C-alpha cells in the first residue's frame, strides 16, 4: 500500500505522518516514510535529526545511481520505521515533481521500493502545480489533513481536484479527511455534505500533540514515559485500522470556488452561528469574492 498525505502548509501533516507510520509499525507492518519537502524535516521526530536528502546524495555521486547504497539514503527511525527525505530543488528553480521522481527511481534501483508493506509520502503544502501532485502517481490512497477553518478546507478542495484528475489515469482513491487541531468539526461536516468523502478521524486541539513536535519525538515514543498520552495514540491507531481494512475510497468531485465561498458565507451567516461564533469572517470580503 502506498499513501500520500496532503494538506495546507502548517496544518500538521508531518506530525500526523510520523504518528501514522508508528501506528502502522505497531500493527506489524514494514514502513517507509518519504518526506517530500525541501525543508526535509518530515522524518525529524522519527530519527531525531535532519537526515541527508536523496537529491543531495545524488549530487554528491554525480548522479551515478550505481554508487549509491541503501544506507546512504535510508535511515531507520523510532519503532523500526525506515525514513527517506527526497529534498527539493533550489529555491526558484527546478520542479518538486522531478525530485519525487528521482527518489522513486533510486529506491527502485536499490530494490527498496517494493520491499515495504506501506510507503507513506508526506507532501509539502498546498497543491499548486502538477509537480507537487507527483506522489499521487505512485499512490493507492490520498489522505487530506485539514482543520475546521476555511483556508484549510480551500486547500483540501484543491487537493481533491488533483486526486480526481489523477484517478483518471492511476488506480488512486481518496481514503478521506483527517481533521487536526480543532475543537469543532461543523464546517468540516458542511464541506463533506457538499463534497461527499469519508472523515477518518478528527483530532482535538491537544497541546501535547504540538509539544511532541517541539520535543522532536512522536507521541508513541513520549507515551512510553507519559502514560496519559496513550489515549492520543489511539486516534492514530484508529486511522491506521481503517486504512488496513483496504477501504474502497472515493473518486471525489471538488466544489467550484464560487460554491465553496458560498458554502462558507451561508454557514457563517445563519442566525445560530452568528450568535455562537466569536471570530466572524469579513463578510464584505466574502461578498466581493462571490461577485
pLDDT tens-digit readout, 205-232: 888 888 888 888 999 999 999 998 899 9
Asked if pLDDT for residue 128 goes beyond 70, the answer is: no
Active site residue 215: no
CA–CA dist 55, 34 (Å, integer): 13
Active site residue 184: no
Q: What is the mean pLDDT of residues 227-245?
A: 94
Q: What is the mean pLDDT of residues 86-100?
A: 74
Asked if pLDDT for residue 92 goes beyond 90, the answer is: no
Asked if pLDDT for residue 95 goes beyond 80, the answer is: no
Asked if pLDDT for residue 118 goes beyond 90, the answer is: yes
pLDDT value at residue 156: 94
User: Average per-residue pLDDT in the chain?
Assistant: 87
Please indicate if the annotation marks 217 as binding a ligand: no
**Percent of the chain predicted with pLDDT > 90:** 59
Catalytic, out of 37, 82, 122, 126: 126
Please indicate if the annotation marks 181 as binding a ligand: yes
Nearest of 126, 127, 38, 116 to residue 83 by alpha carbon: 116
Domains of the chain as residue ranges with CATH = 2-272 (3.40.50.300)
Look at the pTM and tell me if it is higher than 0.85.
yes
Q: What is the mean pLDDT of residues 176-188?
A: 91
pLDDT tens-digit readout, 251-273: 999 999 999 988 887 887 774 55
Catalytic, out of 8, 29, 166, 217: 8
- Reduced to 3 states (helix: H, G, I; strand: E, B; else coil), residue 81 is coil
Active site residue 266: no
CA–CA dist 140, 244 (Å, integer): 12
pLDDT value at residue 238: 97
pLDDT value at residue 59: 87
Catalytic, out of 13, 29, 166, 217: 13
Burial of 228 (0-12, 13-18, 19+ CB in 10 A): exposed
Catalytic, out of 39, 253, 258, 276: 39
Active site residue 13: yes
Please indicate if the annotation marks 180 as binding a ligand: yes
pLDDT value at residue 203: 92
pLDDT value at residue 3: 97
Please indicate if the annotation marks 129 as binding a ligand: yes
pLDDT value at residue 278: 47
pLDDT value at residue 70: 93
Asked if pLDDT for residue 234 goes beyond 50, the answer is: yes
Asked if pLDDT for residue 283 goes beyond 50, the answer is: no
Please indicate if the annotation marks 11 as binding a ligand: yes
Please indicate if the annotation marks 53 as binding a ligand: no
Amino acid at each position: 500500500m502506498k499513501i500520500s498525505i496532503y494538506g495546507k502548509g502548517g496544518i500538521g501533516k508531518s506530525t500526523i505522518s510520523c504518528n501514522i507510520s508508528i501506528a502502522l509499525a505497531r500493527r506489524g507492518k514494514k514502513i517507509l516514510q518519504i518526506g517530500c519537502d525541501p525543508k526535509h524535516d518530515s522524518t525529524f521526530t522519527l530519527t531525531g535529526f535532519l537526515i541527508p536528502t536523496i537529491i543531495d546524495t545524488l549530487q554528491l555521486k554525480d548522479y551515478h545511481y550505481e554508487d549509491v547504497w541503501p544506507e546512504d539514503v535510508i535511515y531507520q527511525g523510532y519503532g523500526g520505521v525506515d525514513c527517506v527525505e527526497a529534498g527539493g530543488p533550489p529555491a526558484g528553480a527546478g520542479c518538486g515533481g522531478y525530485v519525487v521522481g528521482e527518489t522513486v527511481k533510486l529506491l527502485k534501483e536499490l530494490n527498496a521500493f517494493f520491499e515495504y508493506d506501506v510507503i507513506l509520502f508526506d507532501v509539502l503544502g498546498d497543491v499548486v502545480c502538477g509537480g507537487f501532485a507527483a506522489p499521487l502517481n505512485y499512490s493507492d490512497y490520498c489522505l487530506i489533513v485539514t482543520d475546521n477553518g476555511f483556508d484549510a478546507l480551500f486547500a483540501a478542495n484543491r487537493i481533491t481536484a488533483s486526486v480526481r484528475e489523477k484517478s483518471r489515469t492511476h488506480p488512486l482513491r481518496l481514503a478521506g479527511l483527517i481533521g487536526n487541531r480543532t475543537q469543532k468539526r461543523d464546517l468540516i461536516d458542511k464541506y463533506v455534505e457538499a463534497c461527499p468523502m469519508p472523515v477518518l478521524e478528527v483530532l482535538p486541539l491537544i497541546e501535547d500533540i504540538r509539544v511532541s513536535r517541539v520535543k522532536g519525538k512522536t507521541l508513541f515514543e513520549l507515551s512510553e514515559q507519559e502514560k496519559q498520552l496513550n489515549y492520543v495514540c489511539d486516534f492514530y491507531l484508529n486511522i491506521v485500522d481503517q486504512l488496513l481494512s483496504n477501504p474502497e475510497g472515493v473518486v471525489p468531485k471538488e466544489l467550484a470556488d464560487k460554491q465553496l465561498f458560498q458554502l462558507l458565507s451561508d454557514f457563517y451567516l445563519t442566525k445560530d452561528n452568528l450568535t455562537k461564533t466569536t471570530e466572524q469572517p469579513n463578510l464584505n470580503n466574502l461578498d466581493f469574492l462571490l461577485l
